[in-house]
Chain A
Amino acid sequence: MKVKRVVGRIFVYLFLIIAFVVSVFPFYWMITGMTNTAVDVIKGKMTFGSHLIDNFKVLFTTYNIKRIFFNSIKISVLTTVGTLIISSMAAYGFEVYSSKAREKTYAAIMLSMMVPFAALMIPLFKLIVKFHLINTHAGLILTSLASVFIIFFFRQSFKSFPKDIIQAARVDGAGEFKIFTSIVMPSMKSTYAAAAIYAFMTSWNSYLWPLIVLQTDKQKTMTLLISSMSSAYFPEYGVIMAAIVLATLPMIIIFFTLQNYFVQGMTGSIKQ
């Protein structure tokens, strides 16, 4: 029995290590890439080179990186905070207070998630122009505040939330919003953490819509910058890799910080 356990453990770790190496390898390559010249990157060099400083110099002198980076941060943070509040509230409304009319609304929302964005772009663009939101970050944030995907995720997660607790709180005389803000929200931290990661990631990486809405270099985001850098007769891959690593850092930091919530589990109020 014990031997079997140990062997099992070894396999589990082996599996994890393989998954880890396979997952991290491209990242390692990106980091070596930003220390090399474009030709070396194309030729597949996988070791560190000596062009790190040159690449960053080009990146910082050719582009207004600070501004672009800040734009991305601003858009993503505002979108994430807004989305979490609005979408979790909506999911809670749909899940806890079920009614026929709301179920139908929910079904319509779910169905609309399935429409490819390309089909909606032109009507949406006309709308944004009508609202005078073209070339503004507000045009990006407003359109992504209510995320069907996040609503769906929250609702599926709320399904496993013990409804008795809500009833008990009502019996104790707690108001509906109080129940949501001080009982449900704090005990679903892992769900909020995951949703925050995804909302941030989606916003940070979003590309097609910002491309259409934003018009000037001043308003540009990191994703747009990287895309424009790589379309060239002769792409500067070393510099591109430097930009990519820079653009990936915030997401890694956010993930690394928020992932702690995946270990904590539900808080005491629920486990009792």
Chain B
Amino acid sequence: MAEITPNSLKKNTKFFKRNKSFERSLNIYGWIFVSIAVILLAIFLFYPIVNSLILSTMSSKGIVQKFVGLNNYKKLFHDEVFLTGLKNTFIFFIIQVPIMLLLALILAAILNDKTIKFRGVFRTGIFLPAVTSLVAYTILFKMMFSLDGFINKGLLSMHIIKNPIPWLMDPFWARVTVMIAMTWRWTGYNMVFYLSGLQNVPDELYEAADIDGASKMQQFFHITIPMLKPIIVFTSVMSTIGTLQLFDEPMNFSQGGVTGATIGPGNSLLTMSVYIYNLCFKYMPNFGYAAAVSYVIVFLVAILSIIQFKVAGDKK
């Protein structure tokens, strides 16, 4: 295990350090490798970002725009709907992400064990929710979690509850329902990242641990988690982005055809991204203000991601 730490790399590069022209040529190779991606991103990502940053200083009614400077950002702090969205988003983030990632990690560790039978079937099955169409998934979940739906009937018949749970009709339960749905949909998705990461962990480590008499639990904490650290950082950053931009579930679980009004009972499912959407497409279109909300999300995700990198002790 020692030979793959970054330190060993440093030691080795010392060998090349003396050769300046080699260094320079490596640097050029570095740029060549990243060039296509960087050029494409500059055109299709950086340019629009600069554009929308400028837009975030405008207030608009459709194409009727005026410059307002930082007023959009100031307005945000008094905008009750936005603050509700912020609060809801964080509730989802703090509770749902850790549960889901831990579950994914456990499943990946189990399914990486070569002595388990039918691994291919289990893997595919557990990944299936990630490829299930949003339309189907929404219809079904709404049906299962309705007042007289499958879930309530089941819980009632097992005498776990006395009265049906108002899943999508009560602010608290609506959030719970959405978290259950999100966990259902994204656990298998994250599991696959871990599984692919685990293939880069040499089997010898587990074999050696077995010989040393380490239990599966010990192996999980002392081999699996440390070796997967870069991938764990990756999934937690991605989940942070995903959750802070959470849109599909709240939007679809609350939509009521031509008659939908709030996002969940008392706006309990309103997230920042749904608010952005409404500001652009459902309400009087104010793209400038919507852009300002977007950059608040960027700011928050950036801070949370830096924390995650730092906690994991990942360089940079």
Which residues of A are interface residues toward B (Cβ below 8 A)?
8, 12-13, 15-16, 19-20, 22-24, 26-27, 29-30, 33, 41, 44, 86-87, 89-90, 92-94, 96-99, 102-103, 105-116, 118-120, 122-124, 127, 142-143, 145-146, 148-149, 151-153, 156-157, 159-164, 167, 170, 176, 180, 188, 190-191, 193-194, 197, 201, 205, 226-227, 230, 237, 240-241, 244, 247-248, 251-252, 255-256, 259-266, 271
Residues of A within 8 A of B97 (CB): none
List chain B positions with a Cβ less than 8 A from chain A: 3-4, 6, 8-9, 12-13, 15-16, 26-27, 29-34, 36-38, 40-41, 43-49, 51-52, 55-56, 107, 110-111, 114, 116, 119-137, 139-141, 143, 149-150, 184, 187-188, 192-193, 195-204, 216, 227, 230-231, 233-234, 237-238, 241, 244-245, 273, 276-277, 280, 287, 290-291, 294-295, 297-298, 301-302, 305, 316
> Which B residues are CB-close (under 8 A) to A124?
44, 48
Q: Is the CB of B49 within 8 A of A26?
A: no
Q: Is the CB of A113 within 8 A of B241?
A: yes
What does DSSP make chain A's interface, helix, strand, loop or mixed? helix
Q: Is the CB of B12 within 8 A of A26?
A: no
Complex Cα–Cα for A204 and B26 (A):
37
Q: What distance in Å separates the Cβ of A3 from its nearest Cβ neighbour in chain B?
A: 15
Is B37's CB under 8 angstroms from A20's CB?
Answer: no
B124 touches A157 (CB 8 A): no
Closest Cβ neighbor of B280 among chain A residues = A118
Task: Considering the complex, give the chain B residue whose CB is closest to the CB of A92.
Answer: B33
Q: Besides A93-B34, A115-B294, 10 other CB < 8 A contacts?
A: A89-B36, A114-B298, A115-B297, A120-B48, A151-B37, A163-B4, A164-B8, A191-B196, A244-B135, A261-B196
Measured CA separation A262–B193 after assembly (Å): 10
Q: Are B31 and A127 touching (Cβ within 8 A)?
A: no
Known: A160-B4, A191-B200, A255-B131. A86 touches B36 (CB 8 A): yes
- With A and B bound together, what is the CA distance between A180 and B29 in angstroms? 11
Do A24 and B234 have beta carbons less than 8 Å apart? no
| Contact residue among B27, B123, B136, B137 (Cβ-Cβ distance under 8 Å from A259) | B123
How far apart are the CA atoms of A219 and B137 in the complex, in Å? 26
Cβ contact within 8 Å between A123 and B277 = no
* A156 surroundings in chain B (CB, below 8 A): 230-231, 233-234
Cα distance, A224 to B166, chains bound together (Å): 33
Contact A115 B52 (CB under 8 A): yes
Chain B: minimal CB distance from A23 (Å): 5
Interchain CB contact (< 8 A) of A102 among B31, B202, B287 = B31
Residues of A within 8 A of B56 (CB): 119
Q: How many pairs of A and B residues are in contact by the CB < 8 Å rule?
A: 282
Q: Which residues of A contact B200 (CB under 8 A)?
A: 157, 160-161, 188, 190-191, 265-266
Question: What are 25 inter-chain pairs, A to B, with CB distance below 8 A?
Answer: A19-B107, A19-B125, A90-B37, A90-B38, A97-B33, A105-B34, A113-B241, A114-B241, A115-B294, A115-B297, A119-B294, A120-B49, A122-B52, A124-B44, A142-B44, A156-B231, A157-B197, A157-B200, A160-B200, A163-B12, A201-B130, A248-B132, A259-B123, A262-B123, A262-B196
Min Cβ gap A9→B in Å is 9
Given the known interface contacts A103-B316, A113-B241, the answer about A160 and B201 at a Cβ–Cβ threshold of 8 Å is yes
Take A30-B132, A244-B133 as given contacts and tell me if A127 and B48 are in contact as well, using a CB distance cutoff of 8 Å.
yes
A120 CA to B302 CA, complexed, in Å: 18
3 closest pairs, A vs B, by CB?
A93-B33, A97-B30, A90-B37
Which residues of the other chain, A, contact B34 by a CB distance below 8 angstroms?
Answer: 89-90, 93-94, 102, 105
In the bound assembly, the distance between CA atoms of A146 and B107 in angstroms comes to 31
Asked if B43 and A127 sit within 8 Å, CB to CB, the answer is: yes
Which residues of chain B are within 8 angstroms of A92 by Cβ–Cβ distance?
33
Query: Which of chain A's residues have a CB closer than 8 A to the CB of B44?
Result: 124, 127, 142-143, 146
Given known A-B contacts A23-B128, A190-B199, A120 and B110 have beta carbons under 8 A apart: no
CB-CB < 8 A to A15: which residues of B?
110
Nearest-neighbor residue (CB-CB) of B106 within chain A = A15
Q: Judging by beta carbons under 8 Å apart, are B287 and A20 in contact?
A: no
Q: Contacts A93-B30, A102-B31, A116-B273 hold; do A237 and B196 have CB atoms under 8 A apart?
A: no
Q: Are A194 and B129 closer than 8 Å at their CB atoms?
A: no
**Complex formed: what's the CA distance from A260 to B123 in Å?**
10
> Would B37 and A152 count as touching, CB distance under 8 A?
no
